[in-house]
Structure 1
């Protein structure tokens, strides 16, 4: 069986690995980043009519200031982020099943206009449409000591790439000659494009979902 390499940071990496083990996969965690909280000033809640989070890390690392926004309708890019918001005390969180642009369309369709987006310092592009989105960075992703990653990747390995930034770093660390021996599954077309070319195979699921990534991995790993 081909090894499954998980590049995402904790705690998400452990959850992906546990689910991969249920599928019978040989999962190995090799995170490229560690999430760290940063100082942030919370704008007045009454300036907004909706709250948006596009990462569960934002809910986990926001700290006590997050509670000030519990009265706002809360939207999350996906189920994992919605779960983190719910655990932080938010009720009725609306979870999307696509990317940031998809949940932005849902927010607009629900009649909201002024949106507070709590996010990391680096975020994927969101098509805001008619929304007025104010983004506040409340965490950063710090690179791990990953210089030896390429040496730990066995030929035939299947690599899960959960963000465009992870794809960019992977492309920097793995030389073109080695890429031809490795398979990629990226969470989105943007993450896939960030990985560059020359891989043995490279694909993304039809929706940015961990379960769909693992379903693709089963076929490649066997």
Structure 2
């Protein structure tokens, strides 16, 4: 059976690994980045009529400033982010299965016009008919190169790439002459493009969610 390598940061990497193991896949976890808190000044909640978080990292690392927005309608990308918000005592949380643009559009459709997005220092472009104020509350720190990543990338392995930055980092770790027997499954076309060329195959999930990525990986492992 082909091996699946998970490159996303913890604790999300552990959740993906558990899902992959439940599918009977041979899993290795090699995070390329680790999230760290980023100093920020909470803008007044009165300036906004809704809150958006695109990662559970934002909930975990925003610190006490996050509590100022508990009274706002809140939107989350993914059920894991939504659950993290509920665990932080946010009562009115809408979870979206798409990307940031999709959930921002949902907020606009619900009548909101001033959205506060608490996220990382690097964020994907967001297209929506709504005024979005982005505030960074965490950053992703590149981890030192791990020789075990290359050692575990046996021929036929499938590498799961959850962001364009991870694709860039992977391309720097596995050079073109080591890619021909490895497969890429990416969360988006942008993440796939960031991996560069020369892989045995490359696919982007139809929707930017773990289940779609793992379904593609499972087919490659059959």
- TM bracket, shorter-chain basis: over 0.9
State yes or no: 1:204 paired with 2:179. no
- Give the 5 Å matches for 1:113-152: 113-129=113-129, 131-146=130-145, 148=147, 149-152=149-152
Moved more, 177-186 or 148-157: 148-157
What is the CA distance between 1:173 and its match in structure 2? 1.6
| 1:30, distance to aligned residue in structure 2 (A) | 0.4
- Deviation, structure 1 residue 54: 0.8
Distance 2:26 2:107 in 1: 39
Match in the other structure for 2:154 = 154
Separation in 2 of the partners of 1:150 and 1:22? 24
Residue 198 of structure 2 aligns to a residue whose secondary structure is coil
Is the CA contact 2:28–2:152 (under 8 Å) kept in the aligned structure 1? no
Deviation track 1:118-169 (CA, whole Å, cap 9, x = no partner) reads 000011111133x111111110111111253334421211000111110111
Conserved? CA contact 2:77–2:103, under 8 Å: yes
Partner of residue 190, structure 1: 190
TM-score (norm 2): 0.96
**Cα RMSD for the two superposed structures:** 1.1
Aligned equivalents of 1:188, 1:92: Cα separation in 2 = 29
State the distance in 2 between where 1:98 and 1:127 align. Answer: 13
Kept after mapping to 1: 8 A contact 2:54/2:76: yes
Matched pairs, number: 221
Shift of residue 60, structure 1, vs aligned partner = 0.9
Secondary structure, in 3 states, of the residue corresponding to 2:155?
coil
Q: How far apart, CA to CA, are the structure 2 residues paired with 1:146 and 1:83?
A: 32
Partner of 2:85: 85
Alpha-carbon deviation of 1:174?
Answer: 1.4
Find the aligned partners of 1:189 and 1:86 in 2 and give their Cα distance: 31
TM-score w.r.t. the length of structure 1 is 0.96
